[in-house]
Chain A
């Protein structure tokens, strides 16, 4: 399975994403931000970092880069897309995911390990996780405080579209939300970094179930299940 990783000026988790995807058996494909196509990938992992220097708002400028047109089309056609950290911010700015990421309530950049619970396994990016599993994943962000209006939050909860929830909220996110998905469930955004928790050498490998999910989905589709 070919998984594309868009590389924006300022991405700094692209290498981690590429190598973590390779480690779980996917074929990682670099997608340059100015590219006008997705090189026929089966899924897309939008990595973390500081695209375009986080100027204006995190993700605001990346959202209009060349690769985003094809990516939006891919997502709207049901293609599996995940955005991690800055990738989440980019997908929210592109309106592929609801809500927005505000500055952390503490006004501090947070760089720590945090515990989260898997709230939904009904997405291509969490299908291989145990429902309700508690994972320890790293977070590193200044704007990770999830915000959506009351109506959107209610819809997310009622429709089971909260994907990950903090057990110890590091940024003030509404409803302790650490990750959400779109209505069709093929697009997922997470503030914690599964790719930084994908190898015992890193001290953590709780992110593996998220990375493996996309392959499990492909195997099922291949088997016609």
Chain B
């Protein structure tokens, strides 16, 4: 099955990458963008989803600074 994991900076954690993108958008004429957060998408083919939570907690995200959510997409 296919699993999709989204990892992003926790609320309130400085996100310089998101901030750089937020500043770039108005320069292209896209006004009114209040905030941008850039995260990471991890797609995996797995036999069972049993261990995905452990993978997220131990490696895919650093719970000190990041939050994650995951879903089975196929």
Instruction: Mark out the residues of chain B between 1 and 24 whose CB falls within 8 Å of any chain A CB in the assembled complex.
Output: 9, 13-14, 16-17, 19-20
Given contacts A147-B64, A147-B65, contact A103 B16 (CB under 8 A): yes
Q: How far is the CA of A104 from the CA of B59 in the complex (A)?
A: 22
Q: How far is the CA of A147 from the CA of B9 in the complex (A)?
A: 12
Given contacts A103-B17, A106-B16, contact A56 B59 (CB under 8 A): yes
Residues of chain A lying within 8 A (CB to CB) of residue B72: none
A102 and B19 within 8 A (CB)? no
Q: How far is the CA of A145 from the CA of B19 in the complex (A)?
A: 15
B60 and A56 within 8 A (CB)? yes
Q: How far is the CA of A106 from the CA of B60 in the complex (A)?
A: 25
Interface Cβ pair total, 8 Å cutoff: 37
| Range class of the B interface residue count | 10 to 19
Q: How far is the CA of A60 from the CA of B40 in the complex (A)?
A: 14
Q: How far is the CA of A53 from the CA of B40 in the complex (A)?
A: 16
A105 and B20 within 8 A (CB)? no
Closest Cβ–Cβ distance, residue B36 to chain A (whole Å): 13
Q: How many residues of A contact B (CB 8 A)?
A: 19
Residues of chain A lying within 8 A (CB to CB) of residue B60: 56
Closest Cβ–Cβ distance, residue B17 to chain A (whole Å): 6
Q: Chain A 123-161 against B: per-residue CB contact (8 Å), 1 yes, 0 no?
A: 000000000000000000000010111000000000000
Given contacts A145-B14, A147-B13, A172-B14, contact A107 B19 (CB under 8 A): yes
Nearest B residue to A174, CB-CB: B14
Residues of chain A lying within 8 A (CB to CB) of residue B62: 57, 60, 93, 100
B16, B40, B59, B65: the one contacting A105 at CB < 8 Å is B16
Residues of chain B lying within 8 A (CB to CB) of residue A145: 14
A217 in the interface (beta carbon within 8 A): no
Closest Cβ–Cβ distance, residue B34 to chain A (whole Å): 19
Residues of chain A lying within 8 A (CB to CB) of residue B59: 56, 60-61, 64
A99 in the interface (beta carbon within 8 A): yes
Nearest B residue to A147, CB-CB: B65
Nearest B residue to A107, CB-CB: B16
User: What is the interface of chain B, defined by CB distance below 8 A to chain A?
Assistant: 9, 13-14, 16-17, 19-20, 40, 59-60, 62, 64-65
User: What is the interface of chain A, defined by CB distance below 8 A to chain B?
Assistant: 56-57, 60-61, 64, 93, 99-100, 102-107, 145, 147-149, 172
7 closest A-B pairs (Cβ-Cβ)? A107-B16, A100-B64, A100-B65, A103-B16, A107-B20, A100-B62, A57-B62
